[in-house]
Amino acid sequence: MIDLLLNARFMMRPPTGVDRVATELVAALLEHGMPDRFGTLRGLRPSGDIVDAQSRPDEIMNVTQVLPSRLGGHFWEQAVLSRAKPSDYLLSLCNMGPVFRKRQVVMLHDAQAFRQPESYSRAFRLWYHAVQPRLGRTASMVLTVSEFARRDLEAYGVVPEGKARVVHNGADHILRVASDPQTLVRHRLKPKSYFLAIGSLAPHKNLPMLAAAARMRKDRRIPLVIAGGGNSKVFSDNGISASDDLHVLGRVSDAELRCLYENATALVFPSRTEGFGLPPAEAMFCNCPVIASTGGAIPEVVGDAAISLDPDDVEGWSDAMTRLAEDMQLGQSLAIAGGARVARFTWQAAARTLADCLQDLPE
């Protein structure tokens, strides 16, 4: 019987979307039970303090230990982790892993660095373009988060055709966090009287289009509220200026986010492409109606339980917001449909799929 090693480098940085996936997926796997052919799961991380340790699940904290080295970050991952217990399989869930390690399961969440290179710095692009295709070829198994992402990774030559397996994300983590009841008071919002957008100024998030659509409405008493990376000055410098009908909140906590979902008229999610798209799924778990783009994997997540629009249809987005502002029954029916749709996207379901994949690893 062999052990499974977790690449826990993600615990040394502020959590991002892929880090959340790694955290939730491993915690659910430990709760679900390891596949029969494996003994234990042991996380390995560089020396140093774990970032935001108090919020990390006990399941992961209890199995993670330091793999000592003077190196950190990418250098630790490529030079030190690469050689750790070579007979065991390494589980790398955050888009990157030791490039020369063959006994490895790596999760590549999307092909964004190839499809939307302008969204990333030159150094980031060069690193991903050099390393990810090699990982895709050498790793024993490649996982990704949607059928769309699988096809994209194949189309850009990152992963050989037919190699990647799909493990859909879960989104029910949002229900474990108690809603912060003071969120609306702090941000001067009224229940069911704002549209919520989650995102950054990365070009593929398409927020300038959404801001333009919101401002095309004749009745703008229900504002567009943008939560996520970047403060109001950053957004203003990029043509999205805060006003009575457009609020920029910056980063919010999970407790604030749940409150925002639960009280929004709808989530509006206009991305041109996404490997999965967590916000629409999170919103559906919170009974929030969704207006979503047809880009990337988003239709795979929302199905027919959302109002789906082309990401360039400015008038369509404006009209959809107007319809939902005026038709409470439409919003209620979308919330019901969303709840039924998203029931399949739980972390326990993801863990069962992952366990099935791990059973198929070659000796």
* 259-291 tens-digit pLDDT: 999 999 999 999 999 999 999 999 999 999 999
pLDDT(229) > 80: no
Mean pLDDT to the nearest integer, 46-51: 94
- Same domain for 144 and 221, yes or no, is no
- Same domain for 183 and 316, yes or no, is yes
CATH code assigned at 205 = 3.40.50.2000
- Same domain for 299 and 254, yes or no, is yes
Contact 314, 216 (CB under 8 A): yes
pLDDT of residue 39: 84
pLDDT of residue 246: 93
- Same domain for 207 and 140, yes or no, is no
Query: How far apart are alpha carbons 279 and 199 in whole angstroms?
Result: 9
pLDDT of residue 212: 95
Contact 279, 268 (CB under 8 A): no
CA dihedral sign of residues 206, 200, 94, 355: negative
Range from 12-26, 78-92, 111-125, 192-206 that averages highest in pLDDT: 78-92
Give the residue numbers spanning the domain of 57: 2-170+347-359
pLDDT of residue 108: 98
pLDDT of residue 290: 98
- Same domain for 137 and 256, yes or no, is no
DSSP string, 65-88: EE---S--HHHIIIIIGGGSSTTS
Please, which pLDDT band fits residue 57 given cuts at 50, 70 and 90? confident
Percent of the chain with pLDDT over 70: 97
* Helix (H), strand (E) at residue 266: strand 266-269
pLDDT of residue 33: 82
pLDDT of residue 320: 98
Place of tokens 């003071």: 182
- Same domain for 15 and 160, yes or no, is yes
The total number of structural domains that make up the chain: 2
Q: Dig out the tokens for 33 from the structure.
A: 């039970």
- Same domain for 94 and 202, yes or no, is no
- Same domain for 49 and 68, yes or no, is yes
- Same domain for 118 and 189, yes or no, is no
Tell me, rounded to whole angstroms, the distance of Cα 354 from its chain centroid: 17
Does residue 203 sit in helix, strand or coil? helix
Mean pLDDT in the chain? 93
pLDDT(221) > 80: yes
pLDDT(234) > 80: no
Contact 316, 55 (CB under 8 A): no
pLDDT of residue 201: 81
Q: Dig out the tokens for 291 from the structure.
A: 């207006």
What are the start-end ranges of the H helices in the chain? 17-32, 58-61, 73-75, 112-115, 122-138, 147-155, 183-186, 207-216, 232-237, 254-263, 278-285, 298-302, 314-326, 328-342, 347-359
Mean pLDDT to the nearest integer, 317-342: 97
Nearest to 261 by CA among 220, 290, 298: 290
Q: Dig out the tokens for 124 from the structure.
A: 């980031």
Mean pLDDT to the nearest integer, 98-105: 96
**Model confidence over 137-180: pLDDT tens digits?**
999 999 999 999 999 999 999 999 999 999 999 999 999 999 99
Please, which pLDDT band fits residue 95 given cuts at 50, 70 and 90? very high
pLDDT of residue 120: 85
pLDDT(235) > 70: no
- Same domain for 110 and 190, yes or no, is no
**Terminal CA-CA length for the chain:** 10
Between 324 and 37, where is the model more confident?
324
pLDDT of residue 232: 54
- Same domain for 200 and 125, yes or no, is no
- Same domain for 128 and 72, yes or no, is yes
pLDDT of residue 307: 98
pLDDT(304) > 80: yes
